[in-house]
């Protein structure tokens, strides 16, 4: 009789355990969201980024003038109510150009980061998981690329291919992946011999599933945090290439190109270079705050 009662209670106990697990999962999610909302750096960075994205999205509605329209009767006017950020040597409204430049520079930062991120993650994961000659081949390639200064390689590739942001994207994609490859490789070399990976392999999990479902979710945090810093880095890189005449070409309203155009007028029209430079700094600070916040939220000790 007792055995029958015990069997009858088994479904009830199973449902109870399932309910407890669901409540535990919901509690963990709520705790994670509270940790995110309480992270001051992350909230400041995200707030700044939201404002920047809104400016980029609604630039045509906010900008009072055409960003490339020239007016030679209003050249190098200082900041005023008519022109909030002044005008440049062609009479173009700098406020309008900075707003439109937000679109270009955000696109530069994001597009430049995504390809090397995925290339580095792919090659680093394969190299660390399989080791042997695959690891040796990938790491020798990393050593070859790393033997040359990053900015020198970028300038050399863009100079050969020709000026323009598209060629900068290509140059960054074939150079910048090495950082992500080294990051992910070092972490997977530690993780791949742990019990959960051995158990997944013993249960018949194939290599692709183990890498995607078990290893990467546990090691990709540092690469995500690093990518936030890279977004800011590539905005500055685009500005540097534009300063050298290898980036965005006139009359494109890109911040780096605007700084280049204003460098000859620093003593008479400082706003031509200073205001686009300030826009670069603010955007870089936003992504730096996000990176710092993600580092705190995603680190294993904070889970």
Average pLDDT of span 9-16: 48
- DSSP one-letter code for 244: T
Judged against a pLDDT cut of 50, whether residue 303 lies above it is answered with no
Proportion of the chain above pLDDT 70, given as a percent: 88
Average pLDDT of span 256-271: 88
Name the average pLDDT for the chain: 84
| Confidence label for 32 from pLDDT (cuts 50, 70 and 90) | low
Average pLDDT of span 15-34: 55
Average pLDDT of span 125-132: 91
pLDDT at 23: 45
pLDDT at 231: 87
pLDDT at 28: 56
Average pLDDT of span 151-157: 90
- DSSP one-letter code for 65: S
pLDDT at 3: 52
Closest among 122, 224, 217, 130 to 177, alpha carbons compared: 122
Residues 6+ apart with CB under 8 A from 112: 168, 169, 172, 173, 176, 230, 231, 234, 237, 238
Judged against a pLDDT cut of 70, whether residue 160 lies above it is answered with yes
| Confidence label for 14 from pLDDT (cuts 50, 70 and 90) | very low
pLDDT at 244: 81
| Confidence label for 26 from pLDDT (cuts 50, 70 and 90) | low
- DSSP one-letter code for 77: P
Element (DSSP H or E) covering residue 192:
none
pLDDT tens digits along 176-228: 999 999 999 999 998 888 888 888 888 887 888 888 888 888 888 888 888 88
Q: Taking the CA of residue 274 as centre, how many other CA atoms within 13 Å lie in the half-sphere pointing to its CB? A: 12
Phi/psi-derived region of residue 83, left when phi > 0, alpha when psi is between -120 and 50, beta in every other case = beta
Distance between terminal CA atoms of the chain?
A: 47
- DSSP one-letter code for 1: -
Average pLDDT of span 89-116: 92
Please answer whether residues 90 and 72 qualify as being in contact, where contact means their C-beta atoms are separated by less than 8 angstroms.
Answer: yes
Proportion of the chain above pLDDT 90, given as a percent: 39
| Whole-angstrom distance, CA of residue 118 vs CA of residue 177 | 8
Average pLDDT of span 36-52: 89
| Whole-angstrom distance, CA of residue 219 vs CA of residue 156 | 33
pLDDT at 250: 80
**Number of Cβ atoms within 10 Å of the Cβ of 47:** 12
3 state DSSP class of 87:
strand
pLDDT at 210: 87
Average pLDDT of span 140-151: 89
């Amino acid at each position: 009789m007792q055995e029958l009662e015990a069997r009858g209670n088994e479904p009830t106990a199973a449902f109870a355990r399932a309910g407890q697990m669901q409540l535990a999962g919901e509690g963990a999610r709520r705790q994670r969201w509270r940790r995110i909302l309480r992270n001051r750096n992350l909230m400041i960075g995200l707030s700044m980024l939201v404002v920047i994205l809104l400016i980029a999205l609604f630039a045509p509605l906010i900008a009072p003038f055409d960003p490339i329209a020239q007016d030679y009767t209003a050249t190098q006017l200082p900041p005023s109510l008519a022109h909030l950020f002044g005008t440049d040597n062609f009479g173009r409204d700098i406020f309008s150009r900075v707003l439109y430049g937000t679109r270009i520079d955000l696109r530069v930062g994001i597009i430049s980061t995504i390809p090397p991120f995925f290339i580095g993650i792919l090659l680093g994961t394969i190299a660390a998981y399989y080791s042997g000659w695959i690891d040796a081949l990938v790491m020798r390639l990393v050593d070859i690329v790393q033997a040359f200064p990053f900015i020198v390689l970028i300038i050399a590739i863009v100079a050969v291919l020709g000026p323009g942001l598209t060629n900068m994207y290509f140059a960054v994609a074939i150079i910048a992946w090495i950082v992500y490859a080294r990051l992910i490789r070092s972490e997977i070399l530690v993780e791949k011999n742990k019990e959960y990976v051995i158990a997944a392999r013993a249960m018949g999990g194939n290599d692709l599933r183990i890498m995607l479902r078990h290893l990467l979710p546990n090691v990709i945090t540092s690469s995500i945090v690093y990518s936030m810093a890279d977004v800011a880095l590539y905005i500055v890189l685009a500005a540097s290439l534009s300063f050298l005449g290898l980036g965005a070409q006139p009359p494109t309203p890109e911040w780096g190109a605007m700084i280049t155009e204003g460098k000859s007028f620093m003593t008479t029209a400082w706003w031509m270079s200073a205001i686009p430079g300030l826009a670069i700094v603010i955007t870089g600070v936003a992504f730096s705050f996000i990176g710092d916040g993600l580092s705190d939220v995603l680190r294993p000790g904070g889970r």
